[in-house]
């Protein structure tokens, strides 16, 4: 069989993508690079599915390159068996691969007896492994964490794949509700398609659906905090914690992110275009006007104190007690952490205009 397709350059960094499986599905030797496990899993699934179109009996063989005896397992997995069964070899933790493992992977790609997918988590460690594999014929599939507009484009493609659409504001609302976790966003898109009949999907539909889901109420609490609505803050927080006692860290993280975004918007010079503010502050463009209006009701000292308070509350919901500038060795139970979170949220709302 022909050797794997060579990449254009060993050290060239591939462009960011949230659909790496589209280009990698038919390749015989692929190395995924990046910390987004969800995208790497999609690449593996696409390659296995493509192989099984030709031969439904193709098996998947997983190898951990960081494990003891990883080289022997890899060599065995890449070797054809007596029955000539086809296989896709999935080698994880490529950042721990040594030169012998790299040589075995290159030989497997050149021989073509099996299809090979190597998973590298990105970063500096083991970068020479990626360079060696890409230079030796492996196609590089970028699987970096998605940011900014790439996340919104991912949501749009997930919906489009099902024949559905969403209004731009609905896409933004979904991102605010879930965050930038692609796995969670993919699941949310599938659920919306299943539960919401209207097309295109509206922001009202997104808000209605996620207001009733216990594990993603963070953006609702954050909006209430930034808007200074104390009763709503307490109601939503208690509702979330009642339905999911472990929701504390997600709530504190959402509110902290909202406060940081508000601080960045407030720090931008007056007259700065909305698009530039959104880019610099790391917030969706449609939120800029609202955040600008909200920032006028926050005193800088109150906003700074709020960010510190939420950092302490975040430690509390994770079981750590912070006093002053020190962290106590004594742990907090879940009920104590939830109480600390409630107090912090109410304090933030009540003192947002503090001078």
Domains delineated in the chain: 21-142 (3.40.50.300), 146-210 (1.10.8), 214-355 (1.20.272.10)
Q: Which residues pair with 331 in a beta bridge?
A: 320
Greater model confidence, 27 or 197 = 27
Residue 88 in this model has a pLDDT that exceeds 80: yes
Contact present, 96 and 74 (Cβ < 8 Å): no
Contact present, 241 and 247 (Cβ < 8 Å): yes
pLDDT at position 7 is 42
Residue 72 in this model has a pLDDT that exceeds 60: yes
According to DSSP, residue 67 is labeled: S
Q: What is the pTM of this model?
A: 0.59
pLDDT at position 64 is 95
pLDDT at position 352 is 84
**pLDDT over 90 for what percent of the chain?**
42
Give the residue from 62, 20, 36 showing the smallest Cα distance to 122: 36
Residue 296 — very low, low, confident or very high, per pLDDT cuts 50/70/90? Answer: confident
Residue 175 in this model has a pLDDT that exceeds 90: no
Q: How far is CA 278 from CA 53, 166, 291, 292, 341, in A?
A: 45, 21, 10, 11, 28
Q: For residue 175, give both structure tokens.
A: 């991102």
Sign of CA dihedral 328, 334, 336, 338: positive
pLDDT at position 276 is 86
CA–CA distance, 109 with 91 (Å, rounded to integer): 13
pLDDT at position 211 is 56
- Which phi and psi (to 5°) does residue 248 adopt? -50, -55
């Amino acid at each position: 069989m022909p050797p794997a397709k060579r990449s254009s350059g060993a050290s060239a960094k591939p462009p960011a993508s949230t659909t790496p499986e589209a280009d990698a599905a038919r390749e015989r030797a692929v190395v995924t690079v990046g910390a987004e496990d969800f995208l790497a899993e999609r690449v593996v699934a696409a390659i296995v599915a493509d192989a099984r179109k030709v031969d439904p009996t193709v098996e998947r063989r997983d190898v951990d390159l960081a494990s003891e005896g990883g080289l022997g397992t890899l060599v065995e997995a890449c070797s054809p068996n007596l029955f000539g069964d086809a296989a896709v070899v999935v080698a994880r933790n490529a950042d721990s691969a040594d030169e012998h493992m790299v040589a075995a992977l290159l030989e497997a790609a050149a021989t073509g007896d099996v299809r090979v997918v190597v998973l590298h988590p990105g970063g500096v460690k083991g970068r020479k492994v990626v360079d060696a594999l890409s230079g030796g014929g492996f196609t590089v599939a970028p699987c970096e964490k998605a940011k900014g507009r790439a996340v919104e484009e991912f949501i749009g493609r997930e919906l489009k794949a099902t024949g559905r659409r969403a209004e731009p504001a609905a896409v933004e609302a979904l991102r605010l509700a879930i965050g930038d976790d692609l796995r969670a966003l993919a699941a949310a898109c599938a659920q919306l398609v299943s539960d919401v009949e209207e097309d295109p999907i509206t922001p009202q539909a997104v808000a209605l659906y996620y207001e009733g889901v216990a594990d993603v109420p963070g953006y609702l609490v954050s909006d209430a905090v930034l808007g200074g609505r104390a009763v709503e803050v307490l109601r939503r927080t208690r509702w979330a914690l009642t339905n999911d006692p472990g929701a504390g860290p997600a709530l504190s993280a959402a509110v902290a992110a909202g406060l940081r975004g508000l601080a960045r918007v407030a720090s931008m010079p007056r007259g700065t275009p909305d698009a530039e503010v959104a880019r610099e502050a790391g917030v969706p463009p449609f939120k800029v006007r609202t955040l600008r209006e909200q920032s006028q009701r926050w005193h800088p000292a109150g906003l700074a104190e709020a960010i510190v308070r939420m950092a302490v509350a975040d430690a509390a919901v994770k079981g750590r007690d912070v006093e002053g500038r020190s962290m106590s060795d004594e742990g907090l139970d879940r009920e104590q952490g939830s109480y600390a979170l409630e107090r912090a949220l109410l304090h933030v709302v009540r003192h947002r205009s503090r001078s």
